[in-house]
Structure 1
């Protein structure tokens, strides 16, 4: 302890030799602190004037950095000798923090200065604030490239702000947006999609997308990616509904929970040895029947609140959704026909029931898919599925023996039997052959099919916006 004391004493002596006898150490530190603060304040003011930044943002940024630690590591602080006074160290630390503030103000992050300016758009009898994010998301729905959609939305906001058009109508907004789309090479097809999409969302038309298919066909990935492209927030998996129903029933009836109608079997049906295909399909239909009632509440909620949802899973039996498709799907309007005296009389309309008179059911757009995969590609995906799950591998080993090839073969046979049954629901379900080597190609097919179905069914019901001229 004696050596460090001598070093500090020597440093203090050297510092005192450089100070005038008439100036004390405390007064020197006070003058140095005051002079450093004045210099720092003047430097910061000059930087802010050059940056042209509001004081409010400076204050917010400064408050977030007030507890910022020093840049030097703890090891360097212990080894490095103290060569400056404590006041000078405080001024230096504060100066480093202010440098970070001004650097952030002069070189901002991904946000733009145009984001701080609000542009109000008149739509019928109300206003809404223009959002670059929402514009880019709607452009993604119309299959505009993601990078281009960000650039187009920023250029739109920049053009309006630079022109001082902070209040405009929906028609004027779309006119500017469509002119920018044309410059980026997106023609009339994308413009029509944008108009259809915006009107579809503004009028809150219910949208339900069903994705059926056996296990190991990429349903979950395709559903989440399709929801991302269509800007939908809800994806419901039938496997989660089945697990939830099984948990609730086992809690109230633990002894006979697994023996109830439609409850998951142990092992699952794809890992069972069935003597005939009919036995497999009988158990499969029971599970599908229970899941159909489990998702009915979510479907009705979408119709009542005008929301959109994607329901995916292996338990979507097309035969159990035929009634829903017939009663609740919006029909494309038939072309107007001119009547003549020679034309046959139109058939009488079917009688309307009392329930339909009292409370007519809300209709929406229902788009059902069934995914199919050829046997060779299905085998590869099943092999990967079994190798990545110890539980599934244990089920297969217990049911089909220790040979991995036999396990994969028997599981694929069960899944292919389920796939053949599900594909019998085409139509009204739309069959999509999955490309196991390029899922993005399959995603594009489904995306295009959704846009085509919405356009064909919904376009005839569009009332259009009451644009202000």
Structure 2
């Protein structure tokens, strides 16, 4: 073959279209997963979700969200399952009546009638009104959960934040760890350290609490000044160091305007329940060879925290005994106290 013939053949090959390789079908497992995802999505969707209902507040408008309405209902102590169904039934009623633009007052009237159908009366409706006003006016809310370690504070704080529709939970363990990293201070292990006396244990604990108090100062000020609600929970909360914060809230509760609502809790656990909780904890630190030392240290810290209420001129934290057999009941108790405190402030503002 000559060079010219070779070039011609090459040029012909260059101009030819390549046949794409055959596409392989997706694996059966992947196809099934996609189908299952679509089925789940369809189950969680309603045809009413594709119709927008606009709610007018004077010159402003927002689109009704069943999810946000459900969160607002739960914050008013409405059962979560009922809250989901109430929001769905309300949306269904408005769409079926072809009401896609509605005023806020008329919308609330429809909502309250739907709540009545589910057995919720005036107390729950009044609570919903109060919580709606609370969120709309961006009233600062600071909740503190103090208590010794390994009693379930973090779980309760997360669930309480979810119920009250709050987004920020601050853990003092993280604050203390950051402060130690910056300052080079060594962290004391209350699980493995044997102290010469209870006074030495409490003295070390007080020092660490003072470090954390400085670390959370800016977060507390931001919460009370900017109206950003916050839950602070952890081992390093000594009620004695937060008296000024509580006293400001107590004075403001009788004023015409409220600069913030502070609800402090001290979570405690019976000695036997605490021991069982530590023994069955998934955290290996609490189940080691020195668990007995750690248990006694943590119990001494709890006794120190509880004793603050007996000191003169001390504004006490509300003590809540955790029921390990009914975590839901403990959560209900916390929720009730917070709602009662918010109601107390709102009633004083209304009557002022």
Q: Same fold by TM (over 0.5)?
A: yes
Flag the 1:69–1:308 CA change in 2: closer, same or farther, 3 A.
Answer: farther
Q: Report what 1:70 is aligned to.
A: 25
Q: Counterpart of 1:275 in 2: which secondary structure? A: coil
**Cα pair 2:286 2:294 within 8 Å, conserved:** no
**Cα distance in 2 between the residues matched to 1:277 and 1:187:** 52
**Cα pair 1:329 1:364 within 8 Å, conserved:** no
Is 1:409 the equivalent of 2:285? no
TM-score (norm 1): 0.63
1:113-132 alignment, distance < 5 Å:
113-132=47-66
Task: Note the residue ranges of structure 1 that are not aligned, 5 or more in a row.
Answer: 1-67, 75-95, 251-256, 259-263, 336-360, 398-406, 464-469
1:16-415 alignment, distance < 5 Å:
70=25, 108-250=42-184, 257-258=185-186, 264-265=187-188, 268-329=189-250, 331-333=252-254, 363-385=259-281, 388-389=283-284, 391=285, 397=289, 407-415=290-298
**Cα pair 1:269 1:284 within 8 Å, conserved:** no
Q: Report what 2:301 is aligned to.
A: 418
Q: Deviations over 1:75-114 (max 9, x none)?
A: xxxxxxxxxxxxxxxxxxxxx9xxx8xxx79x94422222
Q: Counterpart of 2:55 in 1: which secondary structure? A: strand
**Cα pair 2:271 2:299 within 8 Å, conserved:** yes
Task: Note the residue ranges of structure 2 that are not aligned, 5 or more in a row.
Answer: 1-22, 310-314
Q: Report what 1:447 is aligned to.
A: 335
Kindly report the root-mean-square deviation, in angstroms, between the aligned alpha carbons of the 2 structures.
2.7
Q: Deviations over 1:411-450 (max 9, x none)?
A: 2222121111111334531000011222111111111111
Flag the 1:73–1:392 CA change in 2: closer, same or farther, 3 A.
Answer: closer
**Cα pair 2:279 2:287 within 8 Å, conserved:** no
**Cα distance in 1 between the residues matched to 2:209 and 2:27:** 63
Report how far residue 71 of structure 1 moved. 6.5
Flag the 1:72–1:233 CA change in 2: closer, same or farther, 3 A.
Answer: closer
Flag the 1:72–1:207 CA change in 2: closer, same or farther, 3 A.
Answer: closer
Report how far residue 139 of structure 1 moved. 0.8
**Cα pair 1:379 1:408 within 8 Å, conserved:** no
TM-score (norm 2): 0.82
Q: Counterpart of 1:271 in 2: which secondary structure? A: coil
Q: Deviations over 1:318-376 (max 9, x none)?
A: 000001111245643389xxxxxxxxxxxxxxxxxxxxxxxxx9820010000111111
Q: Deviations over 1:146-170 (max 9, x none)?
A: 1111111011111112212222221
Report how far residue 388 of structure 1 moved. 3.6
Runs of 4+ in 1 over 6 A off after TM superposition: none
**Cα pair 2:190 2:294 within 8 Å, conserved:** no
